[in-house]
Structure 1
Amino acid sequence: MEERPAIRAAREAHIWLQTFVVAIVALVLLFVFVARPVMVDGDSMLPTLRDRELMLVRQAGYDPQPGDVVVLRKDFENVTGPIVKRVIAVGGQTVEIDYATGTVAVDRTVLTEDYILEPMVQRSWQSVTTLTVPEGCVFVMGDNRNISNDSRNPALGAVEEAYILGQAVAVLFPFQNFGAIS
């Protein structure tokens, strides 16, 4: 006996609904546990990242390393929501900032920072010039040093690793900027 069209349509709709639900659950699990999209807010990471770019942030099994671009969430002063910065040093390392020469040294080795926008000028709120990063924390700075509100501000200071949402690994949108973040 041939299946009636209404029953066949109901079965097909049920299969499509099951497929849709599985896809949604897979996306939710992916975004919660593995990676998530995050929008850049502001120009503190120029020239590496631009305002309103959409990044992919890897969360699962991430261990911060110097040079990584990370997204963290720690409210301080008037800053709320996720912020994007570069890890300069990790727990146990000592950061020294010399505004006269425009250099940053970690454990007395001056960093080669070809990713920064322009030479750094000290702002009044950037009072941290030397800091040994506590274990379980990171010292972060923006690539656009002259406008970045980062670990040089004592209100943020060294950031506990628990505040890090993950590593920014790629720009997803706009498409002309699509690619890995370095």
Structure 2
Amino acid sequence: MWKNKAFLSAGIIVALAVAAKVFLRIYRIVGSSMTPTLHDGDLVVCVGSKRPERGKIALIRRGSDVMVKRIIAMQGDDIRIENTGEVFLNGVKLEEPYLRGKLTPEVPISLTVPKGCIFVMGDNRADSVDSRSQRVGYLHRHSVLGIAVAAITPSGFRSL
């Protein structure tokens, strides 16, 4: 009887490990583009089965690179970035409590996100290569590998 329990326990452990491998991703932050929310060396826990949403932090594949950015806009959204750095989404000023300090002056942008795409930005606007750049631009929503749900930092574990 104990052999059956041992096999059952082993099966459950294997099933949980496979499920974690399929649905969870852990990624180490490289650089400062997401400060003050995430810092160089922090680990983010991402859930692959979550759908992209505005305001969420996403793990994104772009070619052979992987990056972590905040989803600002989705398909059909009108986005406007003023030269003051203020962001307007569908005509309404975006509240961004995750930003600290003064906004960085920007080159004004006004656009509509194409079908099937997302527009992302780093929280450290002065040090982020993101959808504002021609090097990144719009990203296909299927390039989202997962949505960050937690961070493991030197000070501990916290939800995002």
Instruction: With the length of structure 1 as denominator, give the TM-score of the two structures.
Output: 0.77
Question: 1:134 maps to what in 2?
Answer: 114
Question: 1:172 maps to what in 2?
Answer: 152
Question: 1:117 maps to what in 2?
Answer: 100
Matched, 1:95 2:79: yes
Question: 2:128 maps to what in 1?
Answer: 148
Question: Structure 2: how far apart are the matches of 1:115 and 1:68?
Answer: 11
Q: Tell me the SS of whatever aligns to 1:146.
A: helix
Shift of 1:177: 3.5
Q: Tell me the SS of whatever aligns to 1:92.
A: coil
Question: 1:6 maps to what in 2?
Answer: none
Q: Tell me the SS of whatever aligns to 1:153.
A: coil
Question: 1:68 maps to what in 2?
Answer: 56
Structure 2: gaps of 5 or more residues: none
Residue identity in the other structure for 1:84: V
Percent identity over paired residues = 33
Runs of 4+ in 1 over 2 A off after TM superposition: 15-26
Structure 1: gaps of 5 or more residues: 1-10
Structure (1 or 2) with the greater strand fraction: 2
- Summarize the alignment of residues 47-66 of structure 1 with structure 2, pairs less than 5 Å apart: 47-60=36-49, 62-66=50-54
Kindly provide the CA deviation profile for residues 60-100 of structure 1, in whole angstroms up to 9, marking residues without a partner as x. 1x22111111110103xxxx53211111111000111112x
Q: CA contact under 8 A between 1:128 and 1:154: conserved in structure 2?
A: no
Q: CA contact under 8 A between 2:87 and 2:93: conserved in structure 1?
A: yes
Cα pair distance change 1:102/1:134, threshold 3 Å? same
Question: Structure 2: how far apart are the matches of 1:155 and 1:53?
Answer: 25
Question: Structure 2: how far apart are the matches of 1:17 and 1:36?
Answer: 27
Cα pair distance change 1:42/1:16, threshold 3 Å? farther
Instruction: With the length of structure 2 as denominator, give the TM-score of the two structures.
Output: 0.86
Out of 69, 78, 83, the residue aligned to residue 67 of structure 2 is 83
Question: 1:5 maps to what in 2?
Answer: none
Q: CA contact under 8 A between 1:53 and 1:172: conserved in structure 2?
A: yes
Q: Tell me the SS of whatever aligns to 1:171.
A: strand
Matched, 1:107 2:90: yes
> What is the RMSD of the two structures over their aligned residues, measured on CA atoms?
2.3
